[in-house]
Amino acid sequence: VLLLPDLVLGPDGEARSGLGVEIDGGFIVAVRAAQAGEEDTALPGRMLVPGCVNAHSHAFQRALRGRVERREGAGEDDFWSWREAMYEAAGALDPDSIGEVSEACFREARAAGYTTIGEFHYVHHQPDGTPYDDPNALALSVVEAARRAGVRLVLLLAAYARAGAGEPPTARQRRFCDPTVERYLARVESLHAAVAGDPLITVGYAPHSVRALPRPWLEAIAAHAAGTGLPVHIHASEQPREVVECLVEHDCQPIELLDACGLLGPATTVVHATHASTRELDLLADRKAAVCACPTTEGNLGDGFLPAAGLWARAVPVCVGADSNVRLDPFEEAREMETCARRRELRRNVLVPEGDDGPSPSLWRSLTRRGAQALHLETGSIAPGMAADLVALDLAHPQLAGVAAADVPAAVLFAGSAALVRETWVAGHVATGT
Ligand SMILES: [Zn+2]
C-alpha cells in the first residue's frame, strides 16, 4: 500500500511534499512519488512522521497520575517521598492488574504518537519476594498488554538486589529482587526465549541503578550482556543523594562506576544523567553510550536539569522517555529539552549540532531514531528497510494553522501537542485514536 500524505518528515527533519510511503509486510519498502493511475491511500491534510519511541517507561506508574500532586505529612516532599507512594502502588499489583494498567498506558501512549515502548520493568515477584510459578509472570503480563494495545515493546528486565550500600531490600522492595545475579540472568534468558518469534516484542537488560546493585552484579550483567547484542539500560545520576552515596561506597561517581564495571559502551543507555559531571559527560562520549532524558518526569519529581548543552556539544545520542508517564506527549518532551537548555544558557536555539541551523532536526531524531537505536530496533526513520511504524499529524489543526510547510516540523515541536496525532501505524497496522 502507498500512503500519500501532504508532507513526509525526511531523515534530516525536513518536510518533503509530493512523496508517498510504500509499506509492505510491516516494513517501509520505498519513499517515492505516486505513479499515474496507481491506487493509493490518500492522507489529505496530514504530515507523516516516524512513530515516536518512549525509550524509558514504567507503565504502572500511570496509576499515580494526579494522586501525588499534594503534600503528605509534615516533611518536605521530594523524589524520596514520591517513591514511597510509588512503592505503595507497586505493592498492590498482581498479574491481572499490572496487565490492565499497562494496557491503558500503552493505548494512551500510542494515541499520543509513541509506537514503541522501552518498558523498564522491575516488579517481578509476589509482595514478599516469593517468585510466581512462572518467575516472569508479571513481565509476561506486560508483554500481553503491549500486544493488546498494538505497540512495539522492548521489555527491559530489571535487576534489583538491595536498598543501598550494605543494606538489604526494604519490605516494599522485596518483590523487585532476585536472590542472586545468576537467577536474574536466567530470567532474562527465559523471557528472551518466551518472546522469540514475535517481531514486535524484544528483551533487554536493565540493571536498575548503582544504588540498587552491588558491584559484582553490575560486572556480571556487563559480562553476560556483552555476548548477546541486547540493549542495556540503567538509571544513573538522577538524584544528588545517589551521587553522594556512590562516592562514599565506591570513591567515584555513578557513570564512572558503570565504566569501571564494563557497563558503559555502545549498547548502553544511561537514563537521566541529570547530575553527570564534566568528566562523566566525556566518558559517555568516549564510550559511545547513549542517554535517555525524561524531561516531564524529571520536572515533576524535582530531579534537576538535563545537562543538555553538554551532551549535544559532545554529540552524545539522546533519546526520550515518558518514565513515570505523568504526561504522554512526545513533542512536550522534546520542547522541554530545548527550552530548559535556553533557560540555563540564557540564549535561544541551543541544542543545534554542527551542520544544522536549528534544534528541530536533532530533536526529531531524539524522539524517533535515537530511541530506536537505544533499543536496538530498525525503526524511527521513514526510509526503505525500516519498520512501518508511522504517525499521521493533522495539518489542519489550529496549533498548525497558517504555518508554512517548511516550518511545520519545528512548529510541531515548539507549538504542537499530542492532540495533532490522527492515525498511527505499527508494523503497517493502522489505528485511529485510542
Ligand atoms: Zn525510570
Write the pLDDT tens digit of every residue in 175-205. Answer: 999 999 999 999 999 999 999 999 999 999 9
Ligand 1 centroid distance, CA of 233 (Å): 10
Determine which one of 58, 233, 235, 272 is catalytic.
Answer: 272
Sign of the CA dihedral with 128 first, then 134, 139, and 140 last: negative
In eight-state DSSP terms, residue 348 is S
Burial class from Cβ neighbours inside 10 Å (0-12, 13-18, 19+) for residue 60 reads buried
- Residue 94's pLDDT is 94
Ligand 1 centroid distance, CA of 120 (Å): 7
Determine which one of 6, 259, 323, 329 is catalytic.
Answer: 323
Letter for the amino acid at 269?
A: T
Ligand 1 centroid distance, CA of 24 (Å): 35
303 is catalytic: no
- Model confidence over 131-179: pLDDT tens digits? 999 999 999 999 999 999 999 999 999 999 999 999 999 999 999 999 9
121 is catalytic: no
In the predicted structure, residue 242 carries a pLDDT above the cut 80: yes
- Identify whether the C-beta of residue 154 lies closer than 8 Å to the C-beta of residue 202: yes
The pLDDT-based confidence of 24 (bands split at 50, 70, 90) is very high
CA separation for the pair 431, 37 (Å, rounded): 27
- Residue 39's pLDDT is 85
CA separation for the pair 223, 235 (Å, rounded): 18
Ligand 1 centroid distance, CA of 131 (Å): 23
In the predicted structure, residue 75 carries a pLDDT above the cut 90: no
Ligand 1 centroid distance, CA of 282 (Å): 23
Instruction: Find the mean pLDDT for residues 237-254.
Output: 97
Sign of the CA dihedral with 104 first, then 106, 108, and 110 last: negative
- Identify whether the C-beta of residue 256 lies closer than 8 Å to the C-beta of residue 283: yes
Ligand 1 centroid distance, CA of 60 (Å): 11
The pLDDT-based confidence of 434 (bands split at 50, 70, 90) is low
Position with higher pLDDT, 248 vs 88: 248
Ligand 1 centroid distance, CA of 285 (Å): 22
- Identify whether the C-beta of residue 120 lies closer than 8 Å to the C-beta of residue 56: yes
Ligand 1 centroid distance, CA of 292 (Å): 10
Q: Regarding beta strands 429-432 and 421-426, do their DSSP bridges make them parallel or antiparallel, or are they unpaired?
A: antiparallel
Ligand 1 centroid distance, CA of 321 (Å): 9
CA separation for the pair 154, 424 (Å, rounded): 19
Ligand 1 centroid distance, CA of 399 (Å): 31
Average per-residue pLDDT for the chain: 96
E strand or H helix at 356, and its extent?
Answer: none
In the predicted structure, residue 117 carries a pLDDT above the cut 80: yes
Residue 347, φ and ψ in degrees, nearest 5: -150, 180
- Identify whether the C-beta of residue 159 lies closer than 8 Å to the C-beta of residue 206: yes
- Residue 236's pLDDT is 98
Instruction: Find the mean pLDDT for residues 424-430.
Output: 97
Ligand 1 centroid distance, CA of 415 (Å): 27
Q: What SS3 state is found at 432?
A: strand
Q: Map grid coordinates 512522521 to a residue.
A: 49
In the predicted structure, residue 25 carries a pLDDT above the cut 90: yes
Ligand 1 centroid distance, CA of 136 (Å): 20
Residue 188, φ and ψ in degrees, nearest 5: -60, -45
E strand or H helix at 312, and its extent?
Answer: helix 308-313
Encode 237-282 in three state secondary structure.
CCCHHHHHHHHHHHCCCHHHHHHHCCCCCCCEEEEECCCCCHHHHH
